[in-house]
Chains A and B, each alone.
Chain A
């Protein structure tokens, strides 16, 4: 079939990855593996303070070090000094002050990585430390110093619906808190910038969105966008952390200054502290009003998210959090307010779930407390309040398509509960011999959630694909060109499956993703399978039309309904022409851009508007064992039920449900990026920032519903983020059932789980 051509199944088939052989062999090249002759190495000088004025930067000692090729500061930024993915508020290199720990202040290039880091350490920055603003509460106080010209309120989203003062016979008030979660991808921020002969630059980088990187790089370099060519390098996970620039612009600046290829790769320590944004920490106050049967009457909520030092995607995150703040429940009266503020903490931004995760911790705890208050089963209360088909959100938006919440809960409840653990090593902590099980109690908890898919609030979200049908070695081959970022999620395979399905060919080649073609949009918001699937499908449909017209011409038979499958043209059940003969030497190529239906901005006063393009629904059941003497918990089973509309590749889908659920397990039990009172990041290794190990992870049986979304290719919905939404609250509910404790904060800490004798 030739190099790079994959063969395999259609949409719906269970398929291994086409990039799998290279990955298991250790041959697949990630962005940190790249090497070209003559390349030199970049390193970053970062702020040791959360807030400080810069009185001067002395680069002489660094420049004097043998092997150093360049030391650059803000003065060397050729174009725009401020960049950003939604708001241009972030200096390419700090100018007169630093606003967070780890903020880039200067960059260095040298002949080898050790010299580059040594030179970075020799850059002498004269700081005047300031009292950092380390809480949202402080940031929003009248006497707080303004961290940006427009003040510290980055965005506030009010949503008012029905009678905001409506009250019910039962009132549940709660305060909840979610700590900072890190995406903790394994492949560090890294890439290779190569200057070209025309004063432009080619950047090979691990990213989620090639074109937004390109546009920001071009602005920072003061170059037209066509002088900046971005190529996707191998991506070692993303989860939102590659939506913003990290080393991209810095490597390009150094490459252009030195006239040499420049490689940069962050260390894990700088990845945690300044390398990328994190999930927003949240403080949430809720008031649920219901009748005596537990039917919701009104929900009031106040959400405060810490945006950190720069905007990143915070404006969209707070809109998600607020519009989704009630959960997948119907309520006629709502008074919601979400605020995201600037502080001197490490910047917050995109992470899997993007605002939906924090509120689910709160609204699901409220639903359990409501059930307890009215003496009803928590599942019954959820079913009673679940959005009906066509139900209305607090924004006034009616949900199109199936609402799976009740079906998902039914499926979870019908599944038998696991028995006691069989192997004593499966008790909490007992891989390491912590307990023999005397103090172990079991708890079961349920949670449900939902999220918007794709970009919202009027953004023209689109994706472009070019499909070219060629004859190669006597076989038809579909060649796909897009800028879709394969970050591990499997979008490469999705594109292959769509082309096989639409063109009836076995052989498919997906070309390297780069900015030579128009944008695919971001590998985020659970949108890419939908959007690039739609673009590839549309381009294939156009190619098919041309091919069938050509075939009809050959056959001299324009009235007959011809079809395309198994590499041939068919008239009804008869194979009438080989596809390669129709293509001949003349390839058929079409380019199409896919848009989802338009969305609306939210009214700035009332938060009303059809802001979201689509939704997906999920639920989890968690079974936990808690050693209430030691404060250790182990999740025995974490069942994920999700409506995916259509399962494009069931194996890749399960991988998303399992992986996303275990990230939610991490947020429930162990993962927290800790900041000191000085705003400095304290957890800068996998020893202190604890993502689940294989011992911590639970089995994640999956229950997949395919209810079919109207208006999407094959009826699919987005998948990637949903498993991270209801997993955390389901585990918290199970921990509450085991301990009897309120547990209003994620992650829980061991001391939260210890049941003292006087309680028992």
Chain B
């Protein structure tokens, strides 16, 4: 099967039928910017964009993603100079990162939210990021980070 992950094309030979996209990314391609917190579709830490649609990579069969363009948190930085995305900068500046295990999934989900709604209210952010669990922060600084990024991102 073929996958383009964060702009890099991959040809993969040894994928077996039941393998999830998350396992192919992590175990076969050694791409660890999608995280393995639950692998039950409950926590959102493996959130990736598949041809622009976000999903938990653990719930997607690798075969379903054949030929797809997959974007993890590593896709947010500028491909040119590697500069971090305003959301990533905001997550740091707001203190929205502690252990950081949820962060890669959250920034992918938050980018998707801001693409659909560039100026979300607090309630919109809570509703929009409800699929991503964080155990460290209590979410307050995550909300602040998304608001901060919304202010600073070009409309």
Q: Which residues of A contact B (CB under 8 A)?
A: 16-17, 19-21, 23-30, 32-33, 35, 112-114, 183-188, 235-239, 265, 267-269, 423, 425-426, 431, 487-490, 651-652, 654-655, 658-663, 685-687, 691-695, 697, 699-700
Contacts and interface: CB of A to CB of B under 8 A. Distances in A.
9 residue pairs, one from A and one from B, having the closest CB atoms:
A26-B33, A488-B99, A23-B100, A26-B73, A662-B138, A236-B101, A686-B42, A658-B138, A33-B32
B126 A431 contact: yes
A32 B141 contact: no
A425 B121 CA distance: 11
Given A488-B98, A699-B140, A24 B38 contact: no
Interface in B22-78: 23, 26-27, 30, 32-40, 42-43, 45, 72-74, 76-77
A524 to B, nearest CB: 15
A32 B99 contact: no
Contact of B104 (A26, A183, A423, A663): A26
B14 to A, nearest CB: 9
A490 B122 CA distance: 27
Nearest to A267: B39
B3 interface: no
Contacts of B122: 423
Contact of B97 (A24, A30, A426, A431): A24
Contact of A685 (B40, B95, B129): B40
A114 B35 CA distance: 18
A655 B101 contact: no
A407 to B, nearest CB: 24
A639 B101 CA distance: 26
15 contacts: A16-B93, A21-B88, A25-B33, A185-B101, A186-B99, A186-B101, A237-B135, A269-B40, A488-B136, A659-B98, A692-B138, A693-B133, A694-B132, A697-B138, A700-B140
A21 B97 CA distance: 10
Contacts of B98: 237, 488-490, 655, 659
Contacts of B101: 30, 185-187, 236-237
Contact of A237 (B27, B91, B136): B136
Given A30-B35, A654-B95, A23 B140 contact: no
A431 B26 CA distance: 34
B114 interface: no
B150 interface: no
Contacts of A188: 36-37
Contacts of B147: none
A268 B46 CA distance: 14
Contacts of A658: 137-141
A199 to B, nearest CB: 29
Contacts of A691: 133, 135
Band of interface residues on B: 35 or more
B143 interface: yes
Nearest to A30: B101
B107 interface: yes
Contact of B73 (A24, A269, A695): A24
B99 A654 contact: no
A725 to B, nearest CB: 15
B21 interface: no
B107 to A, nearest CB: 6
A21 B32 CA distance: 15
Given A268-B37, A686-B43, 20 more contacts: A19-B100, A20-B91, A20-B100, A24-B92, A25-B77, A27-B33, A27-B74, A32-B36, A33-B26, A186-B101, A236-B101, A425-B127, A431-B123, A431-B130, A655-B137, A663-B138, A685-B40, A686-B38, A694-B132, A700-B140
Contacts of B121: 423
A186 B73 contact: no
A25 B126 CA distance: 23
B126 A236 contact: no
B142 to A, nearest CB: 7
Interface of B: 16, 19, 23, 26-27, 30, 32-40, 42-43, 45, 72-74, 76-77, 84, 88-89, 91-93, 95, 97-104, 107, 121-123, 125-127, 129-130, 132-143
Contacts of A694: 125-126, 129-130, 132, 134, 139, 142-143
Nearest to B36: A32
Nearest to B37: A186
A373 to B, nearest CB: 35
Contacts of B125: 694
Nearest to A32: B36
B37 A24 contact: no
Contacts of A490: 98
Nearest to B76: A25
A695 B122 CA distance: 10
A113 B22 CA distance: 13
Contacts of A488: 98-100, 136
A26 B100 CA distance: 9
B50 to A, nearest CB: 16
A651 B84 CA distance: 21
Contacts of B137: 655, 658-659
Given A25-B88, A237-B136, A426-B123, A655 B95 contact: yes
Contacts of B100: 19-20, 23-24, 28, 236, 488
Contacts of B92: 16-17, 20-21, 24
A510 B128 CA distance: 37
B30 A35 contact: yes
B74 A25 contact: yes
Contacts of A425: 123, 126-127
Contacts of B32: 26, 29-30, 32-33, 35
Contacts of A661: 138
Nearest to A431: B127
A429 to B, nearest CB: 13
Contacts of B84: 21, 24-25
Nearest to A686: B42
Contact of B42 (A24, A235, A685): A685
Nearest to A661: B138
A443 B101 CA distance: 35
A112 B107 CA distance: 30
Nearest to B38: A268
A183 B37 CA distance: 13
B97 A17 contact: yes
A30 B143 CA distance: 24
A700 B35 CA distance: 27
Nearest to B87: A24
A23 B97 contact: yes
B147 to A, nearest CB: 13
B27 A24 contact: no
Nearest to B34: A26
B38 A685 contact: yes
Given A655-B137, A662-B138, A235 B99 contact: yes
Contacts of B40: 268-269, 685-687
B80 to A, nearest CB: 15
A659 B96 CA distance: 11
A191 to B, nearest CB: 14
A24 B85 CA distance: 9
Contacts of A699: 140
